[in-house]
Every structure is written in structure tokens, then in C-alpha cells.
Amino acid sequence: MHISDNTILITGGGSGIGRALAEAFQRAGNDVIIAGRRQDALDTVLAANPGMHAAVLDIEDGASIAPFAAALLARFPRLNVVIHNAGIMRPEKLIEGGLDTAEHTIATNLLGPIRLNDALLPQLLAQPRATVITVSSGLAFLPLAATPTYSATKAAIHAYTMALRHQLKSTSVEVLELAPPYVQTELMGEQQASDPRAMPLADFISEVMALIAHGPEHGEILVERVKPLRNAEASGNYHGFFTTFNEAMAH
């Protein structure tokens, strides 16, 4: 992926990793559009970043995707990069039953990127160079027991991305996967933003941008902090690591 001179859509751009990526890509010389559910959150980002653009999108609402894409392309006909970053992460106690959290998580984290990708792929394929970046998680490779559906959707996004990359290998569209570790954002609440166990957001973004600039190996953008999770299966101690990791994260 060229690090500059792109027109980039970033979903979930109103906060956290999405906002930080949007600001980093704008500094690198790109035209950036952030999308998210809340206009007020988007407006806050725009006020701090003159020249950035925004569009309201409820990624969970399947019926809204096609109209959103049509309106977006009418405004930004040079769109050539989409970063599927929007997501939710909520704890679940499966023994207590209830599907509400699971259904919202699947609609947002899995169906949302698939639907939006379907709507935008004809545009991307028509560009001389284009990039799709999905955002999975280290938990795609070693699940967090407290968030089973979140972990499952990220594992599915990883599989979807690998298949998409293979299907598009002879086209102008590059497919990358960004798999964050535990990062200091408010994804699971305010306490996460200052949790010393989490990677500082600025450090994460700095490493990610350097990896993108140099070309990620096998299409996977992996900061050093996430590699133990990514390589857990190959370590020979997957089940022991799973237990140790989940016990540590429970405290």
C-alpha cells in the first residue's frame, strides 16, 4: 500500500484506533473520511483535524449499507482504500443465556464489514491501485473467554480476509489484515484507556504505520506485542497459554 495520496474510508473513526489511524493517515498526506454511528463524535474529530471528512454510518444496519456506499462514492469518486475498523466488544456470561450481545456483535463485527466490502468492491476494483484493510484482533488466534462472540467474529474476519486476499490476488486490490493486541482505548470502557497491561495507543499507531510503509509480511500487520497471540498455535503450548492468558486477563 502506498502510504500517501489515497482517499481512505475508515469505519469506527470517531474514537480509539479508528480515530488514531485517521489522524495518522491524514498527516501522511491522504484524504480521509471517517464513518461512525454518532454525529457528535465525528464532529469532535473533524474539529481537531481540519480537512478531514465524515459520514454517518450504522454498520450494524444492513439496509443502510448500499445507500451509504452510493452517497459516499458520489462525494468521493477517487476512493481507493477502505479500513474496516468499526466493532464492538462486550463480555458475555454464556451460562446465563441470552443472544442479544452475540447478535449485535456478529452484525457489527462480521456482517458489517462483509456487507460494506460487497458494496465498495466494484469501486475498488476499478482503481489502478486500491487496498482493503480489515481489523481483526490478537483474539482471532487465542480467544478471550470473557468475550466469546467477539473472539469468534475476529477469527471469522481473519478467515474472510485470507479468502478475499486469495480471490483478489490477480487484481489491483491489495488485502491487508491489522490484528491489534490489547490497546489503551475505551473499547471495553474507560478503564481500558489507562490499563497498564494494554499497549499505549500512540505506540501502537506508530508501529502500525511503519509496518504498512515497509509492506506487511503475508499481508498481516502485526506489531511485536500481538505476535505471542498470533503465533500461539505454533508455539506448542497453545492450551497452556490459553489458560494462563485468560486467567491473567480475568484480574
* pLDDT tens readout for residues 1-26: 999 999 999 999 999 999 999 999 99
In a domain, 209, yes or no: yes
In a domain, 180, yes or no: yes
Which are the catalytic amino acids? 150
Report residue 79's pLDDT band, with 50, 70 and 90 as the boundaries.
very high
CB 84 within 8 A of CB 132: yes
CATH label of the domain that carries residue 189: 3.40.50.720
Q: Per residue in 31-41, pLDDT tens?
A: 999 999 999 99
End-to-end C-alpha distance for the chain, whole angstroms: 39
SS3 of 57, please?
coil
Residue 123 has pLDDT above 90, yes or no: yes
Report residue 251's pLDDT band, with 50, 70 and 90 as the boundaries.
confident
The range of the structural domain enclosing residue 103 comes to 7-249
**Structural domain total, the chain:** 1
Q: Of all residues in the chain, what percent carry a pLDDT higher than 90?
A: 98
The pTM is what? 0.96
| Summary mean pLDDT of the chain | 97
Report residue 207's pLDDT band, with 50, 70 and 90 as the boundaries.
very high
CA distance 151 to 143: 5
Closest to 188 in 3D by CA, of 237, 144, 142? 144
CA distance 90 to 101: 7
Residue 227 has pLDDT above 90, yes or no: yes
pLDDT of residue 160: 98
Q: Of all residues in the chain, what percent carry a pLDDT higher than 70?
A: 100
In a domain, 107, yes or no: yes
CA distance 83 to 194: 25
> Which residues contact residue 106 at a Cβ distance below 8 angstroms, ignoring those fewer than 6 apart?
149, 153
Q: Per residue in 136-189, pLDDT tens?
A: 999 999 999 999 999 999 999 999 999 999 999 999 999 999 999 999 999 999
What distance lies between CA 79 and its chain's CA centroid?
A: 18
In a domain, 134, yes or no: yes
- The torsion angles phi and psi of 87, rounded to 5 degrees, stand at -170, 160
And the C-alpha cell for 12? 469506527
In a domain, 35, yes or no: yes
Q: Per residue in 89-106, pLDDT tens?
A: 999 999 999 999 999 999
And the C-alpha cell for 203? 505506540
In a domain, 100, yes or no: yes
In a domain, 199, yes or no: yes
Provide the H-helix boundaries in 107-237.
112-125, 148-167, 201-214, 227-230
